[in-house]
Structure formats: C-alpha cells, structure tokens
C-alpha cells in the first residue's frame, strides 16, 4: 500500500461496485458495458429549473454548487459537530456571515474557500457512504480532478472546479447535454404557474424537461403555511377556494395545466400511507375548519383532521389519476422537520427529516380495494422502512395491476440499499412490477454518478443471477436495458408521450 | 451470448444456486451430492388427495395442471394486467367461459391452449422468481422439455406435456413414486371425515400419506361460513355443538380420529399470534353469541370477540397437543381476502392474501408462560414478517424447549428467503431448533423442484460456513442430512410413528 | 473428508471469518494483521470485578467457569430439553443438588464433571452460533485444547482445563495481562460503594479497570426490589430519599463518586426508548406514589407511571451527562424475565429475556429536541430490533452531534450481526458515528474471542469495500485501527481520561 501514490492519482476503478469474484466481475462488466452510454431518464428529481431555463444561470462557487444546497453533505458534517453556520448554510432570512465564515454570494471568495477547506478536511467522514461515492464521481469524472480530496489538496481542487465552472463547456445546458440526459422531470408545487417551464419550452434550446405536480402543501392540512398555499392555488387556478368542492376543482384544473405543460406524473409525500374515504360532507367540514381555524403554522384543528383529510385526498388523487392518466407517486414515512428549534432556524430540507416505522397493507386497503384493480391507475410506491419491501410492497405489487414499486429511495439510494431492494422485492413482485431508477437529486452534477451506481449495481445483480443459474444470459441482456432505462420510461408513461413542442 | 442457442437447449445448470466462488461451489456440490437422491419428506402441503386416492384420477390439460390451480402463477399475470377471466380461473360457481377464453374441462382444447399461449408469452415476468425456478424445473426435469418456454415454443411444449400426462409413467401414483416421496401430509379441515385418506389406506397402493388437522374454519369466528362449518363438525364428530364445552369435545374427538388416520400434526392460521386465556364462562359467552348471532359471512359479534376467541383457542390447542402429542403448527400474519370485491368474485386462495406486520414476543407470552416449558408440547412457528426472525423467533426458540422455527414460508420459500432465514435465525436459535423444510405446495409436480432448491441452498450455506471456518466438514456432512430430511422427520414426529397399516 | 483426523486436531483456521474469494481473503488477512495484536479496549461488560480485585480469586472448575455463569450456553441446552437443574444452574437460594447432578462448589468434582459431560455431548447444538465460535476460541487459544469437544473427549478436555486453572499463568490477573486488555469497564448499580474498585486501585497491581454507573434498579419503578434499591442508594449517597428532589440529588452525588473512581460512562436499560419530560410536580407525584405504594415486586402504581417516570429519568440522565460529562448508554428493547415461573425459580439474567419490536424516531424526539444538538452530550444507542438500524438509528446519528451507534449487541454480537450492522448503518451514518466494539460479556476468558471476531469481521468488510472500489487501501488502513480500538476509545472518552492513581 503506497498511500502517497494513491493520493496523487485519484482514479475510479473501471470495475467498481462489482463483486470481487472474477466470473461475476467479467459478466457484470459485459452487461454494464451495454448500457453505460445509454441516455439518462430522470423522471423524479429536484433540480432547480432556473439553472436550465435562464440562459445566463451560473453555479456560483464550488462551495455553492456542491455543499450549500446538498443536505446529504452538510448533515454528516453537522453530525460530527460542525455547525451549519460554519458551513455557510443560509437561514431562511438569507445568507449571513456568522462565526467568521460563511459561503454564498455574500460571503465572498474567502468565505467560500474557508468552507471548502473545512469540508475537505472532513471528507473522510464520507468513507463508505453513497455521498462519498457521488462526490468522488463528480470530482473525477465531471471536473477531471486527479488528486484525492483532503485538507492538503482542498484549495488546489477548489481552483480546478472554479475554473471549470466559468468555462462554456460547463454551462448548465451544455453540461446537461454532455451528461446525456434524455428526460428530466422537476418537482413543482400544485400552485406553480410553471413560468420557468414555459420559458424553457419557448427557448431555442430543445430538451425534454417536464414538471411534476406536487400538492402536499395544500392537501396536507398541517403543512407549514397551508393557508398561504391555498391562496397561491386560488391565484394559479383562478378559482376562489371557499369550499372543499372548489378546492377539488382547483386541483383538477392545475393537474390539467401541468399535463399540458408536459407533466406525466404527480408526487405525494405523507407521514404514513393511511387512506380512508370521507363523504363529501365530512371532507367539507374538515376543510372549513382548516380554512377558518388556520394559523400560518399549518392546522390540525380537531385531533386527527389532518391525517383523515390527507388519507382522503390520497384517494381523491387516485381517482383523478384514473381520469387524467397522470402517474401517481407516493412516498410516505419521513417525519419532516424532526427538530423544531433547528427547523425554526434553518427551515425545511436541511437534513433533519427522520424515517418512521410504517406499513402499507392495512393503510392502503381502502384505496386499493376501490381503485387498485383499475388498469388506468398507475401508483408508484416508495418507502423509508425496508421492512415493508418483502412484507407489504412486493406482495401488493405482485397482485394489483395498478402498483409499481419505486426504486430504493433517499437513504437507500446506495449500493447496499439496491442490493437489499433486489433481494427483497424481485422474488415476489418480479422485476416488471418495479419502476426502474430515479435519482431524486437536488445536486445537478451528481445525476450521472447516481445512475452509474444503479446501472453497475443492476449489472452485478444480474451477473449473480446468471452465474447462479436463476436466469440465463439472454434474460440478463434484456433485463439490463429495462433496468437502465426501459422500466422508468414505461413506469412514468414517458414512452406514451408525444414529443412536446411549445 | 447466442440467444437462439440458449432458446434451443433449455438445460438447468448442475451447479445452480451455488455461489460463483469455485471453492464454495466445489464444496456445495459435494455436500448436495450426498442428499440429492434422498427421499422427500413433505410434512406440510396442500396436494389434493383425490389425485392419489382415486386410481383413475387425471390431471386434465397442461393448463389445468400448471396454471389454473396455482395462485403463484396467475397472481403475477394478474399484476401485469391480465385478467383472471382471460386465464380461465374459475369463479366459485364453477368453470365459466368468459371473454372468449377460458380453461378447464368446460373450455375444451382450444380454450386451454389459448390460456397456455398467453401464459407462455408472459413467462418472462417470472425471471428471478421462485415460481420461475420451479416451473423451469418441472418442465425440464419432470416433463423433459428442452426448449425455453416463450410465445414461440408455447404450443410445442403444450403438446409435449399433454403427451406425458396421458402416459402411464405420469399417472399420479407413478409420478409420486418417481418423485421419491417418502411421506406426504395433506391439510384437511377439522370436520373432514377423511374418506379419501381411508380409501387410499384401503387400496393396494402403499404410500405414507397422512392428514393434518386444520381447525381454522371453526376456531376463527370470523371465518366465512363459520356456522356451516360448525354443523359439519357436528356431523363428523357425532356431537351436538350447543355449547363451548361440546365444541371442545368435538374437536378432541376429531383430533383423535385424525391421529388414528395417521396425522401427526395440526395446522393453524391466525391473523396474528395473539394468545390469551379466557375462563370457561367467558369462552362460553362468546361462543353463544357467535352461535346465535351468526350470519354466513362469519361473525365478530361483539368487537374483539373473534380475536379473543381465536387467541384462547390457540391456548386450548396447545393444551390438547400436550395431551395427544399432535405437533402444533402456527402461521400468522396473512390478511386473507384483502380485496373484498375480488374475493366475492373468485373466492379464497386466489393470490390476494397480503402479509401484515406482526410480532410474537408479547403475543405468545400467555401461551408460552403456561405451556412453553412443557417438553410434551411441540409448536412450530412460521412467519410472513421477517423482522420477527432474529428479533422474536430465534430468541424464543433458543430458550423454550417446545418451540421450533418452521422453514421460510410462502413468499419466502425462495433462494433469498432461505439465505435470510439461515443468516437471521441460526446464530441465535441454532440449527437444531428449526423444523427442516416443507414445500407447502398445491402444485403436485413442483414438489421435487422445491425440495431441490432447499437442498441446494442448504449445501451452499454450509459450504460457506466451512470455508469461513465457522464449522468443519464433519459438522457440515452431518448438518446437510438434517437439513434434507432429518430435522423434518423429527420435528413432525414422523420418526416416532409406526408404519401405518389399514 | 476425514472426520477422525478433524476430531484429532482441533485448530482454528488462520483465515477464519474471511470471505472465500482469494482477493478478499488476502486483503482481509493483511488488514487484520495490522490490528491482531492491538490491546483490547473493553468499555462495556459484566465481568465480576472480584476476580481481579481479590488476589486470591479462583475460577472453580471448568464447569463453573464456562457453563454455570454463561446464559448464552445454558439457554441453548435448555431449549433442547435439558433442564437448568441438570446443568447445575443455581437458584437464587444457592447451589442445590437436584436430579442427581449439579455443579458448583457444593456439587463436588463428580457433579461438575457430569454437567461437563452433558454439555460436551450437546456441543453440536452450537454449530454456526457465536457461542460455538467463542467456546472453540477459548478452548483452543486460551486453554490449548487440541481435540474437538464431544462426548468422547469431554473428560480429557475437562482435565486439561482444570490443570490450566490451577497454574499461576492462568490466575485472573495474569490472564488479564496475557489477554492484552488495556481498559476494562465493569457495570455497577447506582448504589454500589465500589469497594472492590477501591481495593483494586489500592493494590499494587496496576490495571485500568473502571466502573460504569447503572441506575436501572432505581429509575425504573417496576424493577424488582425497587424500594430496597432506594434504601441502598440512600446508604451509599448519605442522602435521605424522601422526595423526588432528594432522589435526583442522590443520583448526582453517586455519579460524581463513580466519576471520581474512574467511570466515564453510565448505562441504561429500558423496555423502550420512550422519553417525555415531566414537570417537577408530576415527577414528585409519581415518585411519592411509588415510595408509599411500593411492594417488593416493583411498582407501577398508576397505569403508565413506570413508563412515564423512566421516560422522564432518561431525559434527566441526559441533562446530568451534559453537566458531568459521563457518556450515556441506552439499550432498550429487551422484555426481561419473560417467563414468570422460570424467573421466580432461577432469577434474572438466565437467558429468558426476549426482544420486542421498538422504534427510536418518535420515542427519542423529546430528548433529542432538547439535548441532541448539545455537543457536550454523548449518547450511545444500542438496539435489539435491527429494523431500527437503517430506518431510525443511522438517520438520527447522521444528523445529531450527540449520537453514536453502539456495536451490534447481545444476540447480534455475531458474524452475520456484524455484517448486517455494517451494511445497514454505515452508508447513512458513516463509520465515524459509531462507537466501535464492546464485548458486553460475563465470561472472562471469552473476551479475546469476541474482539477477534469483530476485528476479523471488520477487516473482511473493509477488504470488500476496497475491492469494490468504494474506498481505497489508504482509507481501509486507517479505518481498521478505528474499528479495532480508536472508535471505542473516543466514544467512551477513554482518550480524555488521565491515568488514574489511587
């Protein structure tokens, strides 16, 4: 082991993520080779569309691109005692200089470099994590970095990335093309007017970028700022929302608008997958309580109102999906904003969302009994509780025509997460009841890294099946394409959507 | 990869299911070789005994043998949008022609062939599933098929199987012998008069086929048709069941009758493993409510009656097992008939049973505290919630002399299911607190396939233990026989049962 | 396979527990080699300190050393129908001769040999279990046994061990040194006066042996003998405990005393990780109810009192840890003394503690929201429900600076348990949010075996990461030292503690 040699040339192994056994490795390499250059289908993610819709968009510094927006990165540093202030993570009030360091436009070069140094010195914390794998991929494959990131190499690597970021080859649109993205779906609140999507479609840069309809902020009564969101939905839809009935109408109108703008899917978070149908009167009563008892902190006016209303709205959303054909995605199980004081200081999506135990079998019985055997419905389920893979999700998806199982999500978008996913799901549900891969990322340059991990993990899984005599090479050579792009295209009905022309 | 060559010769790898590592593979092959030809002990399953008791029994067409009775097969096709009607699955009212295609005696050759074609075109859905593995085994090893099943080869393979099915070599009794089955246990309702078992024992064909006492239909008050079942139990036992006390007496009489007819075990499904002892008065009160408030849909007259009564009856069944020596099997955790409308159309056991989260530790505490240390009790526990393997089952079985852990069950009767089972159970419970394998199948020609998967998975697991230095070859060479036949024989007390002569 | 040869030379493989793949094996061996001889850090265990504090301490017979005190051993024998009486396990009333055999001082040579024979004949039950691995290590590596333990070799091996036990080389202090233990922490009730620790520190034998503060017996109101324990705490602290306030004061005083005697940590068992802050008045009310309504069997005077009080005391303990710097350990999820009649006969810690399902996310929210981001707190969490590894613990530890995840515990202190631990935790929490290894053992000669399993499992895990391209060799060569000793030293603040001089 020559550690200085290793530090001098940082190079990813061409056989990375394959099992060490030579026969597996050879076959995995062969299978991976047939999809390594396939375009990327990204049907679910959180890229800021302004990066693509505004031709003059810029990334800012390496710190602003790779650290500040990525809670996967800063939550780990936080867990080892580095404050978010020291990392320049902005509070909702805007960028602030605090404790002498900060990052972002207001912080200047020195601040950004200081944060980068701190990050680099602690890069060892990411050993063995997917974040470490993605960052290594981004640095070496996207930015051409050749030295391993550490406190010693931090500033040199900062310079190299900063140089890239100002070159035309790295403009967001050019990078999008070089990353070989065929379709990219963003996630947009139900009240969004999709002006950036309109601008992008009106531009002369042709790319298949689509919105996704996400109504959590209006269908979950306890969502922070619920009443404000209702007002925004009123404005976007042009419908005065004085009643539950008008609320439903406004949602239907906005869904139609999203669909017209290219959306093929909706996206729903919920604390649990609980579903229950309310009568129109019951729904109206709860909705009125929420409208009139509402503070800015969200509302759960009578105990259980919020859970019952969300459970009902999931059924309504399934009904609408049957009618308009938008694919429905549901990912329950995250207790958002777990730490109240931290949330009040830093806001949402800052790494303090923690999974809770949940189950699907009983929770979805009302929805599935009513709509599950209707072939017009497509419902993609994600989970943060892996106990549900083999126990609930695979048996359900192995019976209901409407169900597909989404890829391993969030904390499980990882090598072991994928291995467990394949092991726990496919034997019961089969591969063809899964929805392929999506990257779900906020970090633009991490997109290829994430798909590369999935394609390699898929190839390795298939190679093992072949060498164990479970499938043959003919099967595997078809399945690797499904895993790489085919399943995702079909799951999100991207294969049924005519090319969009503004 | 020459796919046409592959499709032309469909041959199972002699090293299938072994790890690719050569040292593991060599040792696994060696261990497997010592048990590959051992007879099959099948102590728990759902083969229709008429196939064996009636010397003129016939299988019907390939479709009727391999698709129509096997919910593992048709649920997967259903999940991808193929209706059960299109597959000829009968509704309880009998075989019906629907949507132009159907299968079964009423459907004729054309209907059966059409279903077979549809199945074959979609055979790729079973890639990576145990059902796919079993079907490949049945077709190649039992019926000698040499081409891979697909839409193209469907009719040719149908012909080949149909030919087999009419040849004397494939008569059920002859096939039973050729499959090398030493003991086969069926599953029979508590009110069964076991006339088929009597007929079989009276015949000149000698085989060790035994009934199993399954009382769910009378001890679970919410079982569909409960009152009818009580009447059947009255008739079978000759006891008028006007009271809880008479009910217990009838059950004891039927158990004695089953035992006389060769049974060594009872079998119990329950939604959860909840146990609780009621006083005789409490039990009587609930039982009277059920008797008199009973509709044909089953009864849960007062909320919780059904759960409490089932929980109490499990304790009663343990008491009876202590007294009569019948081995008790309990497999909780399946929410049967999940989809009400589907159930009303197609009836029970049609692939719409979905597991629920459950636990054993608290649920079984009343039963185990009272009976668990009594060496006369033998209680075999199965689960559909693998979270219970290492957390509940292994610690319980590693303490209580009465407990054994049943093999991976239902959805987990699979390569990964077996791997997880060994990994999660043996370190805490030891191998000798497990019950060996059982196939639990309704599909007669799948019996050897299922035991073969288990024996290979066992050999592979042992080979890994040897090569990792956890056990030595001497240990492994003994353990492989236990896994193949020894544990099952002992668990079900088949080693203690004198040869049955009518 | 020459089984007689195997039985004649019982030798552990130098590559044991490494994957069979040659590339993994080579690298694992290399990594393991760098830590194989590192001293043992044992920050959490249950060794009886009298063995070390009393220079004349003796082990007794092999039976008394290896079987009688080790519930891992006798629970397995019990599960296969061997009574604890037949194994000489004493009842709380003292050693008794029963059923003709027994062990311990009162039993004499014959009794001890008879138990040893029974154990040896059933040693095969431990195949594939960590107990089997530890025993094999102890016998071969500590006592130099060369024949495999069986009924045949039992007495010869008994002789060999008995000889060792009387030789000066095997005196507890000498063995401690030869086992290369750098730090050993015991577990001591909150009311302990630590007289043995005082004696040890006053002796001329210098070893870093430290107490750990365990207050379960006084903070869990339903602990058997709670009121007695309160009286002992009064005597130890010199504070009359007539009020909740005095109770808190007594605990703080005893913590200070433990700290002065070298303690760096506290240790807490709880049925669940439930936390909830009570007002001082609420706590006082419950405490008074317990003080005055108390029987010797523990108290849960009003329903829920005990759960609420324990949940509150966990928060108080976190507050005290912030103030005095003692590391807090919490291991919930064991339903102690599961079998009431068995408990009444044999007492606590006899192998009848069974895990229950639990979760951390909601349970710890009150504690973590209040104290979790305070860098002065260190809270090490253990679990018996592995579903919490990836779902709750890794996301929590990957956010909160105060949290570390303890090593796989109790039933999961095993090869598969460690593999699952690494697979399920590190991707989300990183390695540096874990607490390294501890052996948690009651069996003195098993200490090296347990650390050896961990070091080998760690090396094997790292070798796989390197060969899969997830980390490089430089990373691995640092991580193996962290795993072997570094993480444990830091987690328990043993690196911050000046050498103790009496």
DSSP letter string, C360-416: STTTTHHHIIIIIT-TT--EEE--S-THHIIIIIHHHHTT-TTEEEPPP-GGG-SHH
Q: Do A469 and B335 touch (CB under 8 A)?
A: no
Q: Do C369 and A13 touch (CB under 8 A)?
A: no
Residue B101 has, within 13 A of its CA and on its CB side, a CA count of 19
Chain B residue nearest residue C18, CA to CA: B468
Mutation target vs C (from A77, A141, A354; most C CBs, 10 A cutoff): A354
Strands C334-335 and C354-355: antiparallel
> Hey, is the C-beta of B482 within 8 angstroms of any chain C C-beta?
no
Name which of A125, A385, A414 is nearest C427 (Cβ-Cβ).
Answer: A414
Predicted TM-score (pTM) of the model is 0.96
Q: Pick from A460, A254, A272: which is nearest to A362 by CA? A: A272
The whole-angstrom separation of Cα B411 and Cα A393 is: 12
Q: What are the angstrom distances between the C-alpha of A93 and each of A89, A90, A228, A295, C136?
A: 11, 8, 18, 20, 63
Asked if residue A95 has pLDDT above 90, the reply is: no
Third-level CATH fold of C59-170: uronate isomerase, domain 2, chain A (1.10.2020)
Q: Do residues A357 and C359 lie in contact, with contact meaning Cβ atoms separated by under 8 Å?
A: yes
Within 8 A of C342 by CB-CB distance, chain B residues are 373
- Confidence at residue B9, expressed as pLDDT on a 0 to 100 scale: 76
The whole-angstrom separation of Cα C457 and Cα C465 is: 12
The whole-angstrom separation of Cα A425 and Cα A421 is: 6
Q: How far from chain centre, in Å, is Cα C274?
A: 22
- Confidence at residue A224, expressed as pLDDT on a 0 to 100 scale: 87
CATH of A58-172, one of 3.40.50.300, 3.90.180.10, 2.30.30.140, 1.10.2020.10: 1.10.2020.10
> Hey, is the C-beta of B468 within 8 angstroms of any chain A C-beta?
no
The whole-angstrom separation of Cα B464 and Cα B31 is: 11
Q: Choose the weakest-confidence range: A378-382, B362-366, C59-63, C492-496.
A: C492-496
Chain B residue nearest residue C8, CA to CA: B474
Q: Do A80 and C398 touch (CB under 8 A)?
A: no
Q: Do residues A328 and A265 lie in contact, with contact meaning Cβ atoms separated by under 8 Å?
A: yes
> Hey, is the C-beta of A84 within 8 angstroms of any chain C C-beta?
no
Residue B291 CB partners (closer than 8 Å, separation 6+): B227, B230, B241, B242
Q: What are the angstrom distances between the C-alpha of B500 and each of B198, B202, C450?
A: 12, 11, 51
Residues C138, C28, A15: CA angle, nearest 5 degrees: 155
Q: A364 by DSSP, 3-state: which? A: coil
Chain B residue nearest residue C81, CA to CA: B401
The whole-angstrom separation of Cα A184 and Cα C341 is: 64
Residues A162, A164, A170: CA angle, nearest 5 degrees: 125
> Hey, is the C-beta of B376 within 8 angstroms of any chain C C-beta?
no
What's the whole-number mean pLDDT along residues C72-93? 92
Q: Which H or E element spans position B475? A: helix B473-481
Query: In the structure, what pLDDT confidence band is assigned to residue B93 with cuts at 50, 70 and 90?
Result: low
Q: What are the angstrom distances between the C-alpha of C313 and each of B140, B226, C216, C320, C365?
A: 65, 51, 10, 10, 15
Q: B126 by DSSP, 3-state: which? A: helix
CB atoms within 10 A of CB A4: 7
- Confidence at residue C87, expressed as pLDDT on a 0 to 100 scale: 94
Q: What is the pLDDT of residues B34-86, one digit of tens each?
A: 999 999 999 999 999 999 999 888 899 999 999 999 999 999 999 999 999 99
Residue C47 CB partners (closer than 8 Å, separation 6+): C184, C186, C441, C442, C444, C447
Residue B254 has, within 13 A of its CA and on its CB side, a CA count of 30
Asked if residue C103 has pLDDT above 70, the reply is: no
CB atoms within 10 A of CB C56: 6
Mutation target vs C (from B20, B24, B471; most C CBs, 10 A cutoff): B471
A266 φ/ψ angles, rounded to the nearest 5 degrees: -115, 165
The ipTM estimated for the assembled molecules is 0.95
Query: What are the extents of the domains in chain A?
Result: 29-38+333-496, 58-172
Which tokens go with C87?
């194994």
Which tokens go with B201?
């024992």
Residue A158 CB partners (closer than 8 Å, separation 6+): A62, A63, A113, A116
> Hey, is the C-beta of B396 within 8 angstroms of any chain C C-beta?
yes
CATH of B173-491, one of 3.40.50.1370, 3.20.20.140, 3.20.20.70, 3.40.30.10: 3.20.20.140
User: How close are the terminal C-alpha atoms of chain B, in Å?
Assistant: 58
Asked if residue C378 has pLDDT above 50, the reply is: yes
Mutation target vs B (from C2, C17, C20, C424; most B CBs, 10 A cutoff): C20
The domain over range A29-38+333-496 is classified in CATH as 3.20.20.140: yes
Within 8 A of B418 by CB-CB distance, chain A residues are none
Query: In the structure, what pLDDT confidence band is assigned to residue C1 with cuts at 50, 70 and 90?
Result: very low
Q: Pick from A378, A475, A479: which is nearest to A422 by CA? A: A479
Q: Which residues of A250-275 are buried (b: 16+ CB within 10 A; e: fewer)?
A: bbbebbbbbbebbbbbbbbbbbbbbb
Asked if residue C95 has pLDDT above 60, the reply is: no
Q: What is the pLDDT of residues B160-214, one digit of tens each?
A: 999 999 999 999 999 999 999 999 999 999 999 999 999 999 999 999 999 999 9
The whole-angstrom separation of Cα C18 and Cα C33 is: 13
- Confidence at residue A104, expressed as pLDDT on a 0 to 100 scale: 59
Q: Do residues A352 and A343 lie in contact, with contact meaning Cβ atoms separated by under 8 Å?
A: yes
Within 8 A of A15 by CB-CB distance, chain C residues are 469
Residue C42 has, within 13 A of its CA and on its CB side, a CA count of 33
Q: Which residues pair with A252 in a beta bridge?
A: none
The whole-angstrom separation of Cα A230 and Cα C367 is: 35
Q: Pick from A142, A133, A45, A177: which is nearest to A488 by CA? A: A45
Q: Choose the weakest-confidence range: A468-477, B397-406, C9-18.
A: C9-18
Third-level CATH fold of C173-496: TIM Barrel (3.20.20)
Please tell me the total number of residues recorded for chain C in this structure.
Answer: 502
Q: Which residues of B292-319 are buried (b: 16+ CB within 10 A; e: fewer)?
A: eebeeebbbbeeebbbbbbbbbbbbbbb
- Confidence at residue C293, expressed as pLDDT on a 0 to 100 scale: 81
Q: Pick from C224, C72, C222, C215: which is nearest to C134 by CA? A: C72
Within 8 A of A420 by CB-CB distance, chain C residues are 423
Query: Chain A: nearest CA to B401, how far in angstroms?
Result: 29
């Amino acid at each position: 082991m020559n550690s200085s040699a290793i530090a001098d040339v940082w190079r990813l192994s061409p056989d990375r993520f394959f099992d060490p056994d030579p026969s597996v490795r050879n076959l995995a390499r062969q299978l991976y080779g047939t999809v390594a250059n396939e375009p990327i289908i990204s049907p679910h993610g959180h890229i800021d569309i302004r990066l693509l819709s505004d031709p003059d968009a810029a990334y800012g510094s390496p710190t602003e691109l790779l650290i500040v927006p990525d809670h996967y990165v800063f939550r780990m540093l936080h867990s080892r005692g580095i404050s978010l202030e020291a990392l320049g993570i902005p509070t909702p009030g805007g960028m602030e200089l605090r404790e002498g360091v900060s990052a972002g436009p207001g912080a200047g070069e020195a601040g950004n470099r200081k944060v980068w140094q701190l990050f680099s010195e602690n890069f060892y914390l990411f050993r063995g994590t997917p974040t470490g794998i993605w960052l290594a991929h981004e640095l070496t494959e996207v930015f051409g970095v050749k030295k391993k990131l550490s406190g010693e190499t931090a500033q040199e690597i900062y310079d190299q990335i900063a140089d890239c970021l100002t070159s035309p080859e790295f403009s967001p649109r050019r990078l999008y093309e070089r990353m070989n993205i065929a379709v990219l779906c963003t996630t947009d609140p139900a009240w969004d007017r999709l002006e950036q999507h309109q601008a992008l479609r009106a531009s002369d840069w042709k790319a298949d970028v689509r919105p996704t309809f996400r109504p959590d902020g209006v269908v979950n009564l306890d969502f922070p700022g619920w009443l404000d969101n209702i007002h925004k939905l009123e404005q976007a839809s042009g419908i005065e929302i004085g009643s539950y009935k008008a609320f439903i109408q406004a949602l239907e109108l906005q869904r139609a608008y999203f669909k017209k703008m290219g959306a093929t899917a909706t996206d729903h978070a919920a604390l649990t997958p609980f579903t229950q149908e309310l009568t129109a009167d019951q729904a109206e009563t709860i909705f009125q309580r929420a409208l009139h008892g509402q503070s800015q902190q969200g509302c759960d006016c009578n105990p259980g109102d919020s859970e019952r209303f969300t459970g009902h709205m999931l059924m309504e959303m399934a009904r609408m999906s049957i009618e308009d054909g938008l694919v429905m995605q549901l990912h329950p199980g995250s207790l958002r904003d777990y730490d109240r004081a931290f949330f009040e200081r830093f806001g949402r999506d800052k790494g303090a969302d923690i999974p809770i135990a949940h189950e699907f079998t009983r929770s979805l019985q009302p929805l599935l009994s009513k709509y599950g055997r209707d072939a017009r419905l497509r419902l993609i389920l994600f989970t943060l509780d892996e106990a549900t893979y083999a126990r609930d999700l695979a048996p359900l998806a192995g019976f209901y025509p409407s169900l597909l199982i989404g890829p391993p999500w969030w904390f499980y978008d990882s090598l072991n997460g994928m291995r467990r996913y394949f092991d726990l799901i496919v034997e019961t549900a089969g591969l063809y009841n899964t929805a392929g891969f999506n990257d779900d990322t906020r970090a633009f340059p991490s997109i290829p890294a994430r798909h590369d991990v999935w394609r390699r993990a898929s190839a390795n899984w298939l190679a093992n099946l072949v060498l164990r005599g479970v499938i043959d090479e003919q099967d595997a050579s078809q399945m690797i394409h499904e895993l790489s792009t085919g399943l995702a295209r079909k799951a999100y009905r991207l294969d049924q959507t005519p090319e969009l022309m503004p």
